[in-house]
Structure 1
Amino acid sequence: MTLLEAWATDAKIRGMSPRTIRNYRYRIANFMRFLDDKDIFAVNKIDIRDFIEEARKKGHYTGSIAFSLASISNFYDWAIFEELTDKNPVKEVRSRYLHSYKKDNEKRDRQLISIKQAANMIDYMVDIRDKAMMTVLFKTGVRRNELLSMEVDDINWNDWSITLKPTAKRSNRVVFFDQEAATILSRWLAVREERNRDGIKALWISTIGRPATEKTVIYMISKAGIALGIHNPKSPKLEEHFSAHCCRHWFTTHLRRSGMPREFIQELRGDVRKEAIDIYDHIDREELRRSYLSHIPKLGIGAHEFTLNC
């Protein structure tokens, strides 16, 4: 078993999510490649400083470098526990050099596209499943893992809502969708019925009836984004990339711009309430639904096949 494999096994035992393990492992492996033939347990603070310098020369942002150092530091903490080394060279370097290397004008904003561009993304997609997935991302602001964990029975057609699976990051688990999303979802469910030969509960399945994966979403969004000129996978700049998380930014920003109360947006996002007034303020579900339907942007997609007493 390699060092990386041993670290990953321990990370899994400690309860680290598969996604986090994968991301950390990628960063640690990248650091090992940077070291070339040097023993990773012979690394000193100068090596870490050189690693930061090299990343900066490649155009990496401070946040990206900080995440790499957090991953590498996690590896060294594991190695100390396993008595493979007695020091973590990252900790004495991180606070000193990241702040001094950070550019004053550095900005790491996720890309925000227009309502028209969002509609164009959906129109570009051919498969009705992809259209439905993209519409739900824009209309609900859910995270990618929340989207992929949806099941058919999670949809409530009486009030156009979806109950999400419990996650550590989300407080409110109910999200709503509008008539446009309802139309596309219904069309997808009709096609899904033909594909679902094995009776799978997952809402999103492939042409052969298998549950959609992270790669499914990444490929779907990347392909459309590249074609429409809003995603550059080779760029080191975050604002030149478009991912599923950008839909969450789109959802939040356009609801605010349309005049939705901030506390309602926070509720729909599932943000944890921190202020005392937020904790004591009870938001009525029907009030929230009506506000959502009044403020969610219309993309100009779908037909009027459903009605709901609003």
Structure 2
Amino acid sequence: MYENNLILDLGIDRDLPETSFLTDFLLDCQVRNFSPRTIQSYKSNLKYFLSQHSIDLTPEVLKDFLVHIRGKKHYSPSTVENYFAVLSSFFDWLEWEGVIEKNIVPQFRKRYLRYYKEQRHEERQLISLEQMRALIDSAEWIGWKAMFIFFAKTGIRRQELIDLDLKDLYIESRYAVLKPHAKRSNRVVFFDQECAQILEAWLSWRQEHKIKSKTLFVGVQGSRISRDAVYETTTEHAQRLGFHNSKSRLHEKFTPHCFRHWFTTWLRRSGCPRSIIQELRGDSRKEAIDIYDHITQIEIKESYLRYIPQLKTNI
């Protein structure tokens, strides 16, 4: 029963080779609380790989696949690495289930994908306080302005912003509660007075224009904003100001994730303690000392307000 529902929900082709393994693996991802977007990405990547190969994996098969997506597909280094990360997860599950004897993907990645990892970890662009102010002020619509400053003042991820609803925002108390996400521990994010003022202007605009959507940030059609709209709006405004070049390398691009990079870096430069920054970012606690280091929400909020940069933007 569960398997059939999963096939229906995720749109898996019943005639696809190795369909039963793929379906069971995606169900396992659901049990492990992976986000729907992550599961969809896993499904798409694995569906493409399994349309050409079986689960009888050899180094030669992996080499051929690497050459194929690197050459014919012309994928970016991060996309190539993502493909093999998904394969590693899938074949790790097959090993766990006893279907295969050993997952050889990790060794292959270590030997052949080191170059891609180095490119993937290229430093992102960091803009100045003045450039961030200019970016926010350049937004001609209050909706974009509210989105930009909320990104900058909270450091949240793109999907976390998209998923926010009006009921998640507590504007008088200056915080929001994010939806559950596999990558995030602390779901409470704070914002300061200047961010609150722009959010209040955004909520007033919504009321004036009778926007009925429950989502906090909407697109031009009045419905939940899409990932593409967030990306295109961010890069278009940054390009006008001269700090986004779509044809250049990572350090000359300004994408939605650069807000998170800006948030983290400028908090650190302001003197904010590392443990507080980790909590504000919602990073998972991996070390035992971090797990037992209990920091209260009051401490986090006080530190946040003390160190978050003031931009003095225009409403």
Q: With structure 1 as the length reference, what TM-score do the two structures score?
A: 0.76
How far is the alpha carbon of 1:134 from its aligned partner? 0.9
Q: Deviations over 1:233-271 (max 9, x none)?
A: 344x33333222221111111000011111111111122
CA drift at 1:190: 0.6
Summarize deviations over 1:28-65 as a string: whole Å, max 9, x none. Answer: 57769xxxxx953498533532544576676954x543
State the distance in 2 between where 1:295 and 1:274 align: 25
Counterpart of 2:259 in 1: which secondary structure? helix
State percent identity of aligned pairs.
Answer: 43
| Equivalent in the alignment of 2:35 | 17
Distance 1:217 1:105, change over 3 A: closer
Matched to 2:256, the amino acid is A
Aligned pairs (5 A) from 1:99-110: 99=114, 101=115, 107-110=121-124
Aligned length: 294
CA-based RMSD: 3.8
Q: 2:267 aligns with which of 255, 263, 269?
A: 255
Instruction: Give CA deviations for 1:43-88 in whole Å, capped at 9, x if unaligned.
Output: 8533532544576676954x5433222234566789999xxx9998
Structure 2 unaligned regions, length at least 5: 1-12
1:218 to 225, 231, 246: 231
Could you say which residue in structure 2 is the equivalent of 1:35? none
Gaps of 5+ in 1: 33-37, 304-310
Is 2:188 the counterpart of 1:174? yes
Query: 1:229: which partner in 2?
Result: 242
Shift in alpha-carbon separation, 1:102–1:187, aligned structure 2, 3 A: closer
The 1:227–1:28 alpha-carbon spacing in structure 2 relative to 1, beyond 3 Å, is farther
For residues 77 and 154 of structure 1, what CA distance do their matches in structure 2 show? 37
- 1:69 equivalent in alignment to 2:87: no
Aligned partners of 1:189, 1:105: CA distance in 2, in Å? 41
| Residues 3-42 of structure 1 deviation map (CA, whole Å, 9 limit, x = unaligned) | 399587656533253322444456557769xxxxx95349
Q: Is the 8 A contact 1:45 1:92 kept in 2?
A: no
* Counterpart secondary structure, 1:158: coil
Structure 1 partner of 2:152: 138
Which of 165, 168, 182 is the matching residue for 1:151? 165
Secondary structure at the aligned position of 2:137 is classed as helix
